[in-house]
Structure 1
Amino acid sequence: MNEALLGSVLAAMSTGIGALPILFLRNTLTHRFRDTLLAFTAGIMMAAATMSLIPESLSYGGFIPFGIGILLGVFTLTLLEKSIPHIDLEHNRRGIAFDQKAMLIIAAITLHNIPEGLSVGVSYASDAEETGNLIAFAIGLQNAPEGFLVALFLINQKISRWKAFVVATLTGIVEIPMAMLGFYLTSFISSLVPYGLAFAAGAMLYIIYKELIPESHGDGHETSSTYSFIFGLLFMILLIQIF
Structure 2
Amino acid sequence: MIIGSSISAFATALGALPILLFNRLSHKFRDMLLAFTAGIMVTACSFSLIPEALAKSNVWVVLTGLLIGTFVLDRMEKYIPHSHPERENLTYMPNLDKKTFLIVSALTLHNIPEGLSVGVSYAGDSGELGGIIALAIGLQNAPEGLLVALYLVNQNMSKVKAFLFAALTGSIEIAAALLGYSLTNYIDDLIPYGLSFAAGAMLFIVYKELIPESHGDGNERYSTYAFIGGLGMMLAIISIFT
Task: Give the TM-score band, short-chain normalised.
Answer: over 0.9
Answer yes or no: is the 8 Å Cα contact 1:88–1:215 preserved in 2. Answer: no
| 1:98 alignment partner in structure 2 | 96
The equivalent of 1:43 in structure 2 is 39
Supply the AA of the counterpart residue of 1:90: E
User: Which residue of 5, 9, 12 maps to 2:6?
Assistant: 9
Q: CA deviation at 1:86?
A: 3.7
Within 5 Å, give how 1:194-233 maps onto structure 2. Answer: 194-233=192-231
Cα–Cα, structure 1 residues 48 and 222, in superposed 2: closer, same or farther, change >3 Å? same
State whether structure 2 residue 189 is matched by structure 1 residue 191: yes
Give the corresponding residue for 1:63. 59
- Contact kept in structure 2, 1:84 and 1:104, CA below 8 Å: no
* Partner Cα distance (1:18, 1:41) in 2: 12
Q: Which amino acid aligns with 2:164?
A: V
Normalising by structure 1, what TM-score? 0.94
Task: Check whether the contact 1:17–1:144 (CA below 8 A) recurs between aligned residues.
Answer: yes
* Per-residue deviation, 1:119: 0.6
Q: 2:170 is paired with a residue of what secondary structure?
A: coil
Q: Partners in 1 of 2:94 and 2:214 — Cα distance?
A: 23
Cα RMSD (Å) of the superposition?
1.6
Whether the 8 Å contact between 1:39 and 1:216 is mirrored in structure 2 is yes
CA distance in 1 between partners of 2:157 and 2:192 (Å): 43
Does 2:235 match 1:237?
yes
Cα offset for 1:97? 3.4
Give the drift of 1:183: 0.7
Structure 1 runs not aligned, ≥5 long: none
Instruction: Say how many residue pairs are matched.
Output: 239
Please list every run of at least 4 consecutive aligned residues from structure 1 whose deviation after the TM superposition is greater than 6 angstroms: none
Q: For 2:179 and 2:87, how far apart are their aligned partners in 1?
A: 35
Q: Distance in 1 between matches of 2:86 and 2:203?
A: 22
Any gaps of 5 or more consecutive residues in structure 2?
A: none
Q: Give the drift of 1:72.
A: 1.4
The residue type paired with residue 12 of structure 2 is: T
Find the residue that maps to 1:171 and give its secondary structure: helix
Q: Deviations over 1:97-148 (max 9, x none)?
A: 3322221111111111111110100011111111111111111111111111
What TM-score do the two structures reach when normalised by structure 2?
Answer: 0.94
**Structure 1 position 96, deviation (Å):** 9.2
Partner of 2:16: 19
Task: After TM superposition, give the deviation of residue 84 of structure 1 in Å.
Answer: 2.4
Q: Which among 79, 89, 101 is matched to residue 83 of structure 1?
A: 79
Aligned residues: percent identity?
A: 58
CA distance in 2, matches of 1:91, 1:189: 41
Closer, same or farther in 2 for the Cα pair 1:199/1:96, shift >3 Å?
A: farther
Q: What whole-Å deviation, never above 9, does each CA across 1:177-209 have from its counterpart, x for those lacking one?
A: 110111111111000000000011101101111
Q: Is the 8 A contact 1:38 1:215 kept in 2?
A: yes
Structure 1 residues 168-187: aligned runs within 5 Å: 168-187=166-185
